[in-house]
Amino acid sequence: MIYFDNNATTKIDERVLEEMLPYLREDYANPSSMYDFAKKPALAIKEARGKMKDFLGANNEKEIFFTSCGSESANMAIKGTLNCNKGKKHIITTKVEHPCVLNLYKSLEKEGYEADYISVDSEGQLDIDELKSKIRKDTALVSVMYANNETGVINPVEEIADIVKTKSPETIFFVDAVQAGGKIPINVKDTQIDMLGVSGHKFHAPKGVGALYIRPSVRLTPLINGGHQERGLRAGTENVPYIAGIGKAAELALNSLNYEMTEVKRLRDKLEDGILKNVFNSRLNSSLKNRVPNTSNIGFEYVEGELILLHLSDIGVCASSGSACTSGSLEPSHVLRAMGIPFTALHGSIRFSLSRFTTEKEVDYVIEKLPGIMEKLTSISPYQDELMKLKQRRG
Ligand code: PLP
């Protein structure tokens, strides 16, 4: 099995698992209990919070709150701050956010909020001027993802934070950094970002644990009411093994950032160049420059993405298509549609996402096998004339 779907989820690092096991076996005490037996789990949470503080470049571990996932972090940040700011009814986000933000915005619109969705260009780069023009004094919140999950395109969130705060100092700025964590450096303390969320399973921790950075000046209500855990902002007995796991994963990811930005990037570039050179109907679906180092989104013109995925799966390769099956029809990706990717490539777009566990051999295997698969699939495509013209054009 060759795994090129690390933006969907990642393998748990063995060292993360080792860190978690004692809290699943012998050290199972509730960390809030008074006896000595509870000290080790309580210390594990404290240490994980410190590691997460370093990972996100926060000032203080008190700014870190553990959650169950990236979606919870986004919901907690957005709903929580809007609840404390009932007078303002205008919110802004982008057209290419993850559904955990987009669908939340849609539901907020039904509750009476007015939402603006900012455009991206054909390379997936955000229209900063449009964003600037939409910020108003009654804008309660701006939410912009750090890196896009489908294309890997990075948004200049530090610059956006400055723009938001200059135009409207009271507006809250949330960053969904789920696809940036572990791939590029994050340093919230040097920015005007108010809140930023990450998810453990995207950087080799298990599924079911995330974190939210909250600047101390930000006021928000909890999503889950109950006990005093997470300083009263997220009730429920702490998930000690998973929190210990995400802490360890954050430490490891911070230590391997350099590797990610050089070696993982080299392998991604090799894979991408190999495909683009050897498959005549392929095209890159994103900016060449501003991308996280592990992601490549390639459109294969006049071929169905699901068919490509099935053929890749037959040779043991896991990747993902930009489209999701919605009620029986093949709905093309909202991200690629927002970028204006031509219809001919929209349905045949494949995301390859690597990790620090990806090997050169795996990359070489895909480069070797994909041209054969594509030859077969183009030969059965109903668009033979168009493919012929494309082949002539691209030589
Ligand atoms: N935000 C982005 C950009 C994502 O890619 C994802 C997951 O793919 C999420 C949020 C949601 O994360 P989780 O699955 O941990 O809820």
pLDDT band, very low/low/confident/very high, at 26 (cuts 50, 70, 90): very high
pLDDT at 115 over 80: yes
Q: How far is the CA of 178 from the centre of ligand 1 (A)?
A: 6
pLDDT at 337 over 90: yes
Q: Which atom of ligand 1 is nearest to the CA of 179?
A: 3
Tell me the torsion sign for CA atoms 14, 16, 18, 21. Answer: negative
Q: How far is the CA of 148 from the centre of ligand 1 (A)?
A: 10
How far are the Cα atoms of 161, 192, 348, 357 from residue 91, in angstroms, in the given order? 15, 18, 33, 39
- The topology (CATH level 3) of 14-255 is Aspartate Aminotransferase; domain 2 (3.40.640)
Residue type, 84: C
Residues 6+ apart with CB under 8 A from 194: 81, 161, 172, 173, 174, 214, 215, 217, 218
pLDDT by residue (tens digit) across 221-277? Answer: 999 999 999 999 999 999 999 999 999 999 999 999 999 999 999 999 999 999 999
**Ligand 1 probe mutation, 96, 199, 295, 333, most atoms within 8 A of CB:** 199
The response to whether residue 77 sits with its C-beta less than 6 Å from ligand 1 reads: no
> Average pLDDT in the 118-139 region?
97
Q: How far is the CA of 285 from the centre of ligand 1 (A)?
A: 20
Question: What's the confidence (pLDDT) of residue 343?
Answer: 87
> Average pLDDT in the 319-334 region?
71
Tell me how far apart the alpha carbons of residues 235 and 223 are, in angstroms, rounded to a whole number: 9
Pairing of strands 295-300, 282-284: antiparallel
Which of 31-45, 237-251, 328-342, 351-365 is the least confident region? 328-342
The response to whether residue 6 sits with its C-beta less than 6 Å from ligand 1 reads: no
C-alpha distance across the termini of the chain, in Å: 34
DSSP E strands in 159-310: the ranges are: 172-176, 195-199, 210-214, 282-284, 295-300
The response to whether residue 94 sits with its C-beta less than 6 Å from ligand 1 reads: no
pLDDT band, very low/low/confident/very high, at 326 (cuts 50, 70, 90): very low
Tell me how far apart the alpha carbons of residues 220 and 104 are, in angstroms, rounded to a whole number: 17
> Average pLDDT in the 69-80 region?
98
The response to whether residue 100 sits with its C-beta less than 6 Å from ligand 1 reads: yes
134 token code pair: 């939409």
| Residue with CA closest to ligand 1 atom 5 | 149
**Is-above-0.85 flag for pTM?**
yes
Q: Which burial class, exposed, middle or buried, applies to 262 when counting CB atoms under 10 A from its CB (0-12, 13-18, 19+)?
A: exposed
pLDDT band, very low/low/confident/very high, at 323 (cuts 50, 70, 90): low
pLDDT at 18 over 50: yes
pLDDT by residue (tens digit) across 154-209? Answer: 999 999 999 999 999 999 999 999 999 999 999 999 999 999 999 999 999 999 99
> Across the chain, which distance is largest between two alpha carbons, in Å?
76
Question: What's the confidence (pLDDT) of residue 322?
Answer: 65
Q: What is the mean pLDDT of the chain?
A: 96
- 3-class SS at 144? strand
Question: What's the confidence (pLDDT) of residue 330?
Answer: 67
> Average pLDDT in the 276-302 region?
94
Q: How far is the CA of 202 from the centre of ligand 1 (A)?
A: 8
Identify the CATH number of the domain defined by range 2-6+257-393: 3.90.1150.10
Domain ranges of the chain: 2-6+257-393, 14-255
DSSP E strands in 215-328: the ranges are: 282-284, 295-300, 317-318, 320-321, 324-326
Is residue 325 among the annotated active site residues?
Answer: yes
Percent of the chain as helix, strand, coil, to the nearest 5: 45, 15, 40
The response to whether residue 69 sits with its C-beta less than 6 Å from ligand 1 reads: yes
